[in-house]
Amino acid sequence: LARKAMFLLDQPIEIPAGATLRLRLIHRSVPQHNIGRFRVSATSVLPQAIELEGQSFPESVRQVLAMVSSERTKEQTKDLENYFREKGDHSWNRAKADVASLRKKLTELEDSFSNTMVMEELKEPRAAFVLKRGEYDKIGEQVERSVPGILPPMPSGVPNNRLGLARWIVSPENPLTARVWVNRQWERFFGIGLVKSIDNFGTQADSPSHPELLDWLSTEFVQSGWDMKSLQKLIVTSATYRQSSQADPQSFRSDPDNRLLARGPRFRLPAETVRDQALAISGLLVHKTGGPSVRPYMPQGVWDETSKYGDLRGYQHDKGDGLYRRSIYTIWKRTAAPPTMLMFDTPSREFCAVKRSRTNTPLQALALMNEVTYVEAARHLASNMIQEGGDSIDEKLRWGFRRTTGRSPSEEEVAVLKKGFLTNRDRFQRESQSIDPLLSVGETVHPQKCDPLDLASYTMTANVLLNLDEVVTKE
């Protein structure tokens, strides 16, 4: 008569590899009742995974167990191993759960990526022909793809396809690529390129003001391995760039565009930089990198005017960090671009714009004084002035001035700011009902420890600081 017994140890036993487990059985019964023949097995699986009365294992598992191991197929062996692992091996189950969790995260990450359309070269290039008078059904002579004849030919050994064209474009023998790019970088830093027409290097383009400098910078750029950081460092550490932008009236009259590079650059910052700078000065800028587009503040109904259907209607700005990300992450609709950006000459992106126009209009000043982003930034800057600027009014004003301009103010400038601050505080004392609307602009909540009267007064002063000409101007 077969009998089975299972014993659970109070404490697990760790058996080193190669060791022998010895069991001692003591029989304390009459001879007829002693165990005649027995077998002992040890396992680390859970008790519920061990078959005692033939009821624990599924029929499919029992059939495989009844087979000789050498007769089992690979699939049967694998199914048997998986069954016992799932039923009894804690570490295997934990590892399996971890793998499943990681695979789920990987799938979610891959699904979050945007699809990018790419082109693939045909195995046999399609024949191209000259169309007589441009009519598709009047085919002329066959033509081969190549580069313009006035430029250097394709390098030998380079395939005559898009990859070969890319290599030709960045070839050191190509006289255009490096010069065009260096000229655009120069325009970003100085406000005007060595060749004024940065979007035109043809026969109708302007002549370079310093051709030798353009050639030298282009050569350095190519020899550095097209290193953008090296090129930018070379420009900004030059004595030419580090000159003062101040000059006598005669210098401005004789060279208004600074073509002779007799002074440092001076021009209004781009729209994105103006916004990002205001957020950075106030301490609101979120430095997170990458991710989907964000929706900052936008006037109500802007998208509704150009969209009748879909999710392009009813624009709702983000909450939290999305309001204070860099402008490069702003969602963009070409037919209804952010109005404040357009005021500062940002292209609508309806077509490619190599060069931006640069204007200074009253609308820009009104936007800096009243748009939600800049009012909220001014209030946040004001709260920092109160909490970190010092004890006296003068100390707070000096702190705010240094924060916005990067220099210490003169006594006259402090006096002007203080006069404006006291005037605003007197007005808010008389018109206390206008304090709450000012302090409630935007999503951020002002610190409770800041007195509302002082915060409103310093907010108006901070708004003036963010509107200073030297704050929105590169000089």
pLDDT value at residue 72: 85
CB 156 within 8 A of CB 166: no
Q: Which residues contact 258 (CB under 8 A, 6 or more apart)?
A: 190, 191, 192, 265, 266
Q: How many CB atoms lie under 10 A from the CB of residue 30?
A: 7
Position 51 pLDDT exceeds 60: no
Tell me the C-alpha distance between 204 and 292, whole Å: 41
Look at 96 and 308; give whichever has higher pLDDT: 96
Q: How many CB atoms lie under 10 A from the CB of residue 295?
A: 16
H or E, element range at 140: strand 139-143
Tell me the C-alpha distance between 29 and 115, whole Å: 78
Backbone angles phi, psi at 320, to 5 degrees: 75, -135
CB 462 within 8 A of CB 446: no
Tell me the C-alpha distance between 95 and 434, whole Å: 62
Ranked by mean pLDDT, the top range of 1-15, 280-294, 343-357 is 280-294
Position 308 pLDDT exceeds 90: no
pLDDT band at 368 (very low <50, low <70, confident <90, very high): very high
Spatial CA neighbour of 457 closest among 415, 430, 427: 427
Position 310 pLDDT exceeds 60: no
3-class SS of residue 444 = coil
Tell me the C-alpha distance between 146 and 150, whole Å: 12
pLDDT value at residue 149: 83
H or E, element range at 211: helix 211-223
* DSSP state at residue 470: T
Tell me the C-alpha distance between 166 and 119, whole Å: 14
Tell me the C-alpha distance between 210 and 245, whole Å: 19
pLDDT digits (tens, 9 = 90+) for 138-177: 899 998 888 888 888 887 888 888 888 998 999 888 888 9
Tell me the C-alpha distance between 275 and 279, whole Å: 6
Tell me the C-alpha distance between 271 and 249, whole Å: 28
Across the range 113-117, mean pLDDT stands at 77
H or E, element range at 400: helix 393-405
pLDDT value at residue 202: 79
Give the CA radius of gyration of the chain.
38
- The vertex-30 CA angle with 29 and 34, nearest 5°, equals 70
Residue 386, classified by CB atoms within 10 Å of its CB into exposed (0-12), middle (13-18) or buried (19+), is: buried
3-class SS of residue 149 = coil
Position 128 pLDDT exceeds 60: yes
Q: Which residues pair with 330 in a beta bridge?
A: 294
Backbone angles phi, psi at 142, to 5 degrees: -80, 140
Least confident segment among 90-94, 205-209, 400-404: 90-94
pLDDT digits (tens, 9 = 90+) for 33-50: 777 778 888 777 656 555
* Identity at 94, one-letter amino acid code: R
Question: Alpha helix (H) ranges present in 115-161?
Answer: none
Tell me the C-alpha distance between 32 and 305, whole Å: 100
DSSP string, 165-200: HHHHHT-TT-SSHHHHHHHHHHHHHHSS-SSS-TT-
pLDDT value at residue 461: 95
Residue 256, classified by CB atoms within 10 Å of its CB into exposed (0-12), middle (13-18) or buried (19+), is: exposed
The percentage of the chain sitting over the pLDDT mark of 70, rounded to a whole number, equals: 95
pLDDT digits (tens, 9 = 90+) for 201-228: 877 888 999 999 999 999 999 999 999 9
Residue 85, classified by CB atoms within 10 Å of its CB into exposed (0-12), middle (13-18) or buried (19+), is: middle
